[in-house]
Structure 1
Amino acid sequence: MDWLGFTIVVLCLLVSAFFAASETALTGASRASMLRLSKQGNGDADVVSDLLDMRERLIGALLLGNNIANIGSSAIATAIFTAWFGDVGVLYATGVMTALVVIFAEVLPKTIAINAPDRVALAVARPMRLTMYVLGPLLRIVEVIVRLLMRLFGLAGEHQAILSPTERLRGAVDLLHHEGKFEKQDRD
């Protein structure tokens, strides 16, 4: 039982790492790069763009998948550690799983993804689309509950961008100038 349990814990941690990397990559992917790659015939770029167009459902799938993996791995580890050490095994499992989840299922995959968001987004796009399809019915239920709660607290409404596209572009140009990548006349 212990080897099976350990195997499941490791698989759950790998799944959690996948979701953590996917979240960072897909939220950090450049829409401009995806459009350019899509025009060059890259089908994965089309999938990334489609996923970004369904941002609310994407975030729901990422969070749901990540939480299922983390809670599942922690529950199984707790069962193993309590079988070995009795009641104090809960504390051991909590410490070990916290370290494993933080390092291997959160920080490491997110660091990898933040260093190459477009490349990682292209790699995870198709598996994430499949995940969203599989979790679709559950995601719909979660979305309904969230919308009801938001309405209950008076937070329902359209997603309104704070800055217009022109203001965002102006901010990007100013940032590039500030970083020394644009000369003043190019910026102007």
Structure 2
Amino acid sequence: MKSFWAAKPTTVDTIPLPLLFTILGVLIVLSGCFSSSETALMTLNRYRLRHLARDGHPGARRAEKLLGRPDRLIGIILLGNNFVNIAASSVATLIALRLGGEGTLAAATGLLTLVILIFSEVAPKTLAALRPEHIAFPASYILGPLLKLLYPLVWLTNSISNSLLRVLGVQPTEGGQSALSREELRTVVNEAGAMIPQRHQSMLLSILDLDQATVEDIMVPRNEVVGIDLEDDWNRIRSQIAESEYTRLPVYEGSIEKIRGILHVRRVLTAMLDSELTRERLLEHMRDPYFVPEGTHLHVQMRNFQTLRRRIGLVVDEYGEILGLVTLEDILEEIVGEFTTDPAESIRDIHPQPDGSYLAAGSASVRDLKRLVDWELPADGPKTLNGLILEHLETIPEPGTALLIDEHPVTVLQTEENRVKVARLSPRIKPRAKQPKHED
């Protein structure tokens, strides 16, 4: 005779199979939710998240708060994920025993593993990686309260895991976000695509390049500086002031080396029109010259111009000799481009020709040529086309001399004394080989 306990069915045996399958399906869905929320929160664009949070987006604020302590966030997600996965395994075991006995346990385990892998891991995480905001923001409404509810358990597991990390020399409270380098910022701007207009992308990249260029790259050479020579005839000086295309002019005696100051032309125009301008009054309206050491980077010099409230400076070398003149407008043009509608025509001393070549003065900036002609030249080399040609030939060329610079034919057309006056730059002989793209 069977005993009472052996005859009485257990509570688990009385659960209908449809209900067990329903519970299993719900657990699989919950597992997918935890998996997708983890991926979504960890792949959020932190800069966009911070912007949305500052704009008052509630989901972004909750997500940013959760990401403030990633150890706690990962703790609550993994606790929930492991709980539902273990529960799903138990329910699948019950279903297997009810349907086919112990012989079906291996098949049930393999089938459940495949189902969880597809529907709770791969598919949800792929969706979360593609649409992180659509998953992370709604999930933050659930994970926040759940973290508060299970905080003691999360604190216990985090304390143990954080202690282990400290033993390995890792501080769990350290921020995961480090400052971006200049090259990383360039990558961010380049990959922004349609989110940033092309014009704005160029300006941002130019700002990042300011610390790579120095005042010598953009200065007007001393032999091209337009100024007022106090030793000239007074009528010539008056005519020069009246017809000047510049707002500020250096004032010197005989040579730029004997600089006296910088004259703001507008301040003396009224006196000149009233025939009250004299040499003494002209000197009274001058401002002391401002000298800029050679090698000063453009981003530093722009800040110096702003701090000192100056707009023009004279570049000097280590011996105090004047090399040229640099203005605030020159630096701004490095960022926004030349103040004209045609970029090719705007670059000083470089003129495009119908056949695709360029006529360039020997004083043309190598920096401008690199941008316009796509030369790949070191930044610490010659600053002008004349210096570049002389460096390649190591002699003063005659008109008609031809050479190759980065696969571009360059022909010297005119020389003057000991320098190249005009040269023709032709298109590249053969296209530059494309560098293979490396994929992670």
* TM-score, normalization by structure 2: 0.39
Give the Cα separation in 2 of the matches to 1:150 and 1:139: 16
Change (3 A) 1:164 1:170: farther
In the other structure, the counterpart of 1:166 is: 180
Pick one of 66, 89, 96 that aligns with 1:51: 66
Pick one of 75, 81, 92 that aligns with 1:77: 92
1:165 maps to a residue whose letter is A
Which is richer in strand? 2
In the other structure, the counterpart of 1:91 is: 106
Contact 1:28–1:118 (CA<8 Å) still a contact in 2?
A: no
CA shift, 1:48, in A, is 0.6
Q: Superposed, which structure 2 residues align to 1:13-32 within 5 Å?
A: 13-32=28-47
CA shift, 1:43, in A, is 1.2
Q: Superposed, which structure 2 residues align to 1:120-139 within 5 Å?
A: 120-139=135-154
Give the Cα separation in 2 of the matches to 1:85 and 1:40: 58
CA shift, 1:131, in A, is 1.8
- Deviation string, structure 1 residues 2-35 (Cα, Å, up to 9, x no partner): 1221111111111111101100100011121122
Contact 2:165–2:171 (CA<8 Å) still a contact in 1?
A: no
Give the Cα separation in 2 of the matches to 1:35 and 1:163: 13
Change (3 A) 1:39 1:144: closer
2:183 maps to a residue whose letter is R
CA shift, 1:157, in A, is 3.7
Percent sequence identity is 31
Change (3 A) 1:162 1:62: closer
CA RMSD for the aligned pairs? Answer: 2.3
2:74 maps to a residue whose letter is I
In the other structure, the counterpart of 1:143 is: 158
Larger radius of gyration: 2
Change (3 A) 1:157 1:93: same
* TM-score, normalization by structure 1: 0.86
In the other structure, the counterpart of 1:119 is: 134
1:42 aligns with 2:57: yes
- Deviation string, structure 1 residues 107-146 (Cα, Å, up to 9, x no partner): 1111111111122211211111122112211111111222
Q: In the comparison of the two structures, how many residue pairs are matched?
A: 184
1:103 aligns with 2:118: yes
CA shift, 1:176, in A, is 5.0
Give the Cα separation in 2 of the matches to 1:50 and 1:78: 39
Give the Cα separation in 2 of the matches to 1:107 and 1:128: 21
Comparing both chains, which one has the higher relative contact order based on Cα–Cα distances under 8 Å and sequence gaps of 6 or more?
Answer: 1
Contact 1:83–1:89 (CA<8 Å) still a contact in 2?
A: no
Contact 1:25–1:116 (CA<8 Å) still a contact in 2?
A: yes
Change (3 A) 1:74 1:163: closer
Contact 1:37–1:45 (CA<8 Å) still a contact in 2?
A: yes
Q: Superposed, which structure 2 residues align to 1:57-72 within 5 Å?
A: 57-72=72-87
Which is richer in helix? 1
CA shift, 1:67, in A, is 0.8
